[in-house]
């Protein structure tokens, strides 16, 4: 399997606005997936046992529930349309095994229609998928990276710690390295950069929030009405995670996860009223606006 050979990103990337503009954000639900009963909140008790209980393998499938698999379209006034994550590939709608592999087909229960995939949702908004030049990855888990190959001409940006973990990652860690197309240009962000101002204009700021994975980043955005918005990615699966300080059933490391969740909470405290979209929130997703800022 041939992999991309990422190079360090030359920051800031071109396309930043000098006029102090902002972006518009379209949350896109690409698929839904059945999550284990304690997906959002690990049962109490000692570590490994609590995780095994939380996996819910002994619980009936009826107790599993659907969660959204999102991606985000960012419309930037000069850099053009940008994606944050890619969600599920359209092929997942018809053949999970071909899209994600035989093991995934057994392990995952996914609901998807081809028209939920990002390319179809872009076309619906009058945007040519081939015009996507830049994709920012919060992290490289399969449910975020599955759609990458639909954009062969895009440059993919990811934290260097995430790439190091994912390039040899295994399905048990949430990684499927065959999803990373060698045809794409990949650029890495320095893992020690606490915050990266991607275009140098403050519109897209990538905050280091490791813990869910080694190189996870959340995305703080300046909208075109001058207000702010936060995409937590999987630093918080749900609004409940933030409100109730929940530790999900699975993390890469609990310590960094908790520190990153505190960082998310600090950001929210510093930006009262700003919209916050979490990673896989079944409860809040239906109430999201189709586009931010809301007019
Ligand atoms: Zn993830």
Residue 79's CATH number: 3.60.15.10
Q: How many domains does the chain have?
A: 1
Which domain range does residue 230 map to? 7-285
Taking 70 as the threshold, does the pLDDT of residue 140 lie above it? yes
What is the tens place of the pLDDT at every residue in 257-278? 999 999 999 999 999 999 999 9
> What does the pLDDT average to over 43-69?
79
Q: Is residue 66 domain-resident?
A: yes
Nearest to 89 by CA among 80, 102, 98, 79: 98
Mean residue pLDDT across the chain = 94
pLDDT on residue 102: 86
In a domain, 291, yes or no: no
Give the model's pLDDT for residue 19: 77
State the pLDDT confidence band at 132, using cuts at 50, 70 and 90.
Answer: very high
> How far is it, in rounded angstroms, from Cα 149 to Cα 88?
10
| Residues less than 5 Å from ion ligand 1, measured at CB | 141, 234
Cα–Cα distances in Å, from 179 out to 49, 142, 251?
31, 7, 21
Q: What is the Cα–Cα distance from 294 to 239, expressed in whole angstroms?
A: 19
Collapsed DSSP state (helix, strand, coil) of residue 264: helix
Which pairs count as long-range contacts for 46-53, CB under 8 Å and 24+ apart, including other chains?
A: 51/249, 51/250
Helix (H) or strand (E) holding 35: strand 24-35
pTM value? 0.95
Q: Tell me the C-alpha distance between 209 and 261, whole Å.
A: 8
Tell me the helix, strand and coil percentages in the chain, rounded to 5: 30, 25, 45
Q: Is the pLDDT score of 37 beyond 90?
A: no
How much distance in Å is there from the Cα of 270 to the middle of ligand 1?
26
Could you tell me the distance, in angstroms and rounded to a whole number, from the CA of residue 217 to the centre of ligand 1?
A: 11
Q: What is the mean pLDDT of residues 73-85?
A: 96
Burial class of residue 191 in the structure, from the number of CB atoms within 10 Å of its CB (0-12 exposed, 13-18 middle, 19+ buried): middle
* Unique residue bearing structure tokens 């606006």: 289
Between the CA of 139 and the centroid of ligand 1 the distance, in Å, is 7
Give domain status of residue 254, yes or no. yes
Q: Is residue 292 part of a domain?
A: no
CA 89 to centroid of ligand 1, rounded, Å: 16
Work out the pLDDT band at 20, boundaries 50, 70, 90: confident
User: Per the domain annotation, does 293 fall within a domain?
Assistant: no
Q: Could you tell me if residue 54 is inside a domain?
A: yes
Residue 290 lies in a domain: no
């Amino acid at each position: 399997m041939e992999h991309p050979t990422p190079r360090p990103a030359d920051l800031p990337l071109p396309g930043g606005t000098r006029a102090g503009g902002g972006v518009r954000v379209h949350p896109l639900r690409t698929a839904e997936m059945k999550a284990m009963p304690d997906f959002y909140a690990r049962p109490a008790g000692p570590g490994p046992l609590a995780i095994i209980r939380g996996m819910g393998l002994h619980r009936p499938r009826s107790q599993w529930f659907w969660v959204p698999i999102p991606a985000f379209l960012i419309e930037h006034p000069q850099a053009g349309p940008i994606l944050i994550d890619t969600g599920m590939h359209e092929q997942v709608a018809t053949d999970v095994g071909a899209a994600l592999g035989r093991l995934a087909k057994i392990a995952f229960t996914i609901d998807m229609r081809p028209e939920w995939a990002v390319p179809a949702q872009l076309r619906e908004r009058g945007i040519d998928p081939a015009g996507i030049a830049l994709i920012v990855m919060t992290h490289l888990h399969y449910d975020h990276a599955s759609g990458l190959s639909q954009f062969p001409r895009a440059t993919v940006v990811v934290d260097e710690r995430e790439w190091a973990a994912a390039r040899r990652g295994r399905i048990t860690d949430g990684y499927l390295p065959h999803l990373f197309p060698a045809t794409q240009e990949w650029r890495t962000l320095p893992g020690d950069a606490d915050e990266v101002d991607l275009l140098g204009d403050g519109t897209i700021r990538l905050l280091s929030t490791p813990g869910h994975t080694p190189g996870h980043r959340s995305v703080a955005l300046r909208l075109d009405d001058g207000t702010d918005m936060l995409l937590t990615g999987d630093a918080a699966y749900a609004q409940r995670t933030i409100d109730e300080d929940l530790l999900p059933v699975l993390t890469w490391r609990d310590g960094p996860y908790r520190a990153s969740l505190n960082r998310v909470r600090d950001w929210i405290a510093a930006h009262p009223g700003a919209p916050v979209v979490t990673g896989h929130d079944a409860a809040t997703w239906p109430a999201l606006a189709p586009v931010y800022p809301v007019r």
